[in-house]
Amino acid sequence: MTAIDLNQTKFAAEKLFQRKRLVAFGIPAVIALYLAYIFFAFDLPGLAQRASMDNAVKLASDSWSHKVHVTRDNRSGEVSYAVEGERKGRYPEGQRPDWVSGDEVTTIDLGGDHIVRYLPQNRTEIDIPGFPLIEVQAEGRSLTSNLPEDLPDWISASSRRIGITTPEGRITLTGARTEVFNYFPGWELFWFTLDSPYHGEGLGSILFGKQIDPTRSNVAGALSDWWNNPMWRHRDVAWAIGETILMAFLGTMGAAIIALPLAFLAAKRFSPLMQIRASTRRLFDFVRGVDALIWTVVLARAFGPGPLTGALAILITDTGTFGKIFSEALENADQKQIEGVSSTGAKPLQRYRFGVIPQVVPVLLAQILYFLESNTRSATIIGAITGGGIGLMLTQAIQTQKDWEEVAYYIVLIILMVMFMDWFSGWLRGRLIGRSQ
Amino acid sequence: MADVSLSGASLGVDSIQSSYLAQVQRRRLYGGLTLLIFIVLMVSGFTIADDRNAGGFWNGLHQVGDYPTDVLSEAWEQRADLPGLVVKYFPALVETVNIAAVSTLIGAIGGLFLSLLGTRGLAKWPRLILLFRRLSDIMRAVPEIVVALVLIFVLGGGPVPAMIAIAIHTAGSLGKMFSEVSENADLKPLEGLESTGATWFKRMLIGILPQVAPNYVSYTLLRFEINIRASAILGFVGAGGLGYELRNAMAWGPGRFDEAAAIFILLFGTIVFFDQVSSRYRNRLTEGQAQ
């Protein structure tokens, strides 16, 4: 090796090093530049102002707690008690929470020495430690109170409305009514609503205790009351989850059934005519490219909202995807096995059945099962658009912006559902094609 | 064994044949039963779905073409406007692609750490391997729409909720795919680097990343394709981009179908374009590895 050769090699090596260095610094620099562009394109500085911390706090606290409303209608003077202020969560006549006492004067003990008293003639007394006794009188549409001019920031007051927020609970007073919200941790009435005779009974007393409802046996009655719980709607939720899984199942399996014969048409080895091959492939590309979103929109017009529309949208999109994957698998099938089968005098259909199918089935099954799991997630989203399944319930619960504990419940269920489908498809794959895959 | 084969060849063949036939029959029975269960599930599933749908399958079937025909014919009448509309909605398209790109990028970085921290032999804290695996399982299980809807409530509409939602899901699913790759990585470079006193970060950067990079990039590109679709769909529930414009255009109904058509065309074109580009690069990456 001469000196010139060496020099050239060294030069080439240095150039290579330089290029690598450029790439090593260039790629992070490009990523950083892109992120900087996104920072302004997505208006992140403005986001801080748009973001509503109140909503975040409400979401964080409401999703694991509930409140009980004690409401006095200032026209009739009637006091009502309701969980979350809903009609379905109202305490039956003659019952009330045990932190409320008194007949003429209704005394509400919010805990921590915070006491609210509903006095006759629409007067209200609020006793908060470390603050002078607040007295409010409601008359017609306006309020008069003994609140000083200078208010702490947890009290907001005008002549029409007074709001007091304490760590123990919230108090709102208007001319028409006086309301106290007392917060408790947990999802109230998750098992039974207040009108059910099983409310407040433990598991032990339902299973082994004496008969609570004379007309029904304890277990059957409790199950039926829980299943038909009007606040949490367990039956509807179970149906919705079933619908979502059904969408995924019908869509995935239907797509696989349709895609398998079409894949033969698109595979080079089984379809000698170029035009048929090309047109089948274009068909696959087309249905895949149109995407589930557009298919959902189009199909919802024809079939209306519901699980069938979602299933068909998944079916059409995945027919394209499966067709592509299947035809690739078919092209990779081993020719020798087909030759062996045809040497026994097998007809073309038999050749496919015994020469090709056994080879590709593990690949196809693995893909189908993987898509089954991934389509469960898609079905949740498609359900939110087309109107079916748990996706719809979730969107509705979020849009009402008050039942955050239900939103939390649905989210937990959705995650469990997807994890179950993940586990189930993995288990099925293990059973059908062996663990080694 | 020798005794068995010697104890009469004719009997051996018979017993082999009968046991083989019995085995075949049993297998056929199982196969037939599985098929039967599957058919029953499909048919009953279809019936239930049909019942619970607002419009029936057979009534709707001949209406499938109506809406596309309406949209396309109206768009065809106003075809002169289409280029203008395509230009009008181009920024929305850019937003959709940007959402997908950023969330893929962030998700890939997150997935990278999740996979490295969750793979035996590579993890920085071996005791926490299970934790990181569960974490990535949970992130993978959360459908994008759940996070997006909650974040839209807190942050308001726009691209950021969709971006975060897709990034979380991407990190989870890439974390799983990456760790399948990095489980097969050669650990010898790591030992060599460790002997020089390299930190965990450097060992991963120099010892592992070059081995797994082609596969990682290939998976990330595949994820990018998926995320473009996801970001279009999330737009439909209020997260900005093309999906949002599509919902608005559809809400207008007839008379504005040319706008819907323009968005359909843009969305279709984008998805096909990025599918082609990414599949070409993925092929190149995996081919380069085989050589």
Query: What Å distances lie between residue A425 and A28, A100, B169, CA to CA?
Result: 38, 52, 19
- Distance separating alpha carbons of residues A182 and A110, to the nearest angstrom: 6
Paired strand residues for A161: A174
B8's torsion region: left (phi>0), alpha (psi -120 to 50) or beta? left
Residues of A with CB below 8 A from B137's CB? 419, 422
Length of chain A measured in residues: 437
Scan residues 91-130 of B and list those with Cβ closer than 8 Å to A: 95, 98, 101-102, 105
Same domain, yes or no, for B127 and B224?
yes
Cβ burial B169-189 (10 Å sphere, 16+ → b, else e): bbbbbbbbbbbebbeebeeee
Residue of A nearest to B253 (CA): A301
Q: Which of B41, B149, B250 sits opposite A394 (nearest CB)?
A: B149
Q: Sign of the CA dihedral A289, A292, A293, A295?
A: positive
The answer to whether A250 contacts B46, with C-beta atoms less than 8 Å apart, is yes
| Residue extents of the structural domains in chain A | 9-47, 67-185, 234-433
Same domain, yes or no, for B279 and B141?
yes
Residues of the domain holding B15:
10-45
Let me know if residue B191 belongs to a domain. Answer: yes
- Distance separating alpha carbons of residues B101 and B230, to the nearest angstrom: 11
Same domain, yes or no, for B238 and B119?
yes
How many percent of chain B have pLDDT more than 70?
95
A364 touches A256 (CB < 8 A):
yes
Angle, CA B274 vertex, CA B271 and CA B279 arms, to 5°: 120
Let me know if residue B53 belongs to a domain. Answer: no
- Distance separating alpha carbons of residues B99 and B95, to the nearest angstrom: 6
Same domain, yes or no, for B94 and B196?
yes
The answer to whether A56 contacts B146, with C-beta atoms less than 8 Å apart, is no
- Pure H helices in chain B: 2-6, 9-52, 57-61, 66-77, 82-117, 129-141, 144-155, 159-183, 188-195, 200-202, 209-234, 242-252, 257-290
Same domain, yes or no, for B75 and B38?
no
Residues of A with CB below 8 A from B38's CB? 253
Instruction: Note the pTM of the prediction, 2 decimals.
Output: 0.83
Same domain, yes or no, for B152 and B260?
yes
Three-state secondary-structure class, residue A70 = strand
Q: What is the per-residue pLDDT for B1?
A: 45
Stretches in chain A below the pLDDT threshold 50:
436-437
Same domain, yes or no, for B115 and B160?
yes
Query: What Å distances lie between residue A179 and A71, A102, A262, B67, B116, CA to CA?
Result: 4, 17, 66, 51, 54
| Chain-centre distance for alpha carbon A424 | 20
CATH of the domain at B86: 1.10.3720.10
The answer to whether B46 contacts A47, with C-beta atoms less than 8 Å apart, is no
Work out the number of other CB atoms within 10 angstroms of the CB of residue B76: 11
So what's the ipTM on this one? 0.83
Choose between B79 and A243: higher pLDDT. Answer: A243
B221-273 per-position pLDDT tens digit: 989 999 998 998 888 887 788 888 888 888 777 777 888 888 888 888 998 89
Residues of B with CB below 8 A from A50's CB? 155-156, 158
Same domain, yes or no, for B117 and B179?
yes
Same domain, yes or no, for B94 and B133?
yes
> Model confidence at B131, in pLDDT bands (50, 70, 90)?
very high
Q: What is the per-residue pLDDT for B132?
A: 92
A391-400 per-position pLDDT tens digit: 888 988 888 8
Work out the number of other CB atoms within 10 angstroms of the CB of residue B56: 14
Q: For B227, how many CA atoms within 13 A lie in the half-sphere containing its CB?
A: 33
Same domain, yes or no, for B269 and B188?
yes
B110 contacts: CB under 8 Å, gap ≥ 6: B167, B170, B171, B174, B175
- Distance separating alpha carbons of residues A376 and B278, to the nearest angstrom: 25
B64 touches chain A (CB under 8 A): yes
Q: What are the backbone dihedrals phi and psi of residue A345, each rounded to the nearest 5 degrees, phi first?
A: 90, 25
B158 touches chain A (CB under 8 A): yes
B27-47 per-position pLDDT tens digit: 899 889 989 999 999 999 998
Same domain, yes or no, for B197 and B96?
yes
A234-433 has CATH 1.10.1840.10 classification: no
Let me know if residue B59 belongs to a domain. Answer: no
Q: What are the backbone dihedrals phi and psi of residue A126, each rounded to the nearest 5 degrees, phi first?
A: -125, 120
Kind and range of the H or E element at A303? helix A274-303
Let me know if residue B51 belongs to a domain. Answer: no
Mean pLDDT for B74-102 is: 87
Structure tokens, B165? 């939602």
Number of domains in chain B: 2
Task: Supply the mean pLDDT for chain B.
Answer: 85
The answer to whether A292 contacts B229, with C-beta atoms less than 8 Å apart, is yes
> Model confidence at B83, in pLDDT bands (50, 70, 90)?
confident
Same domain, yes or no, for B176 and B210?
yes
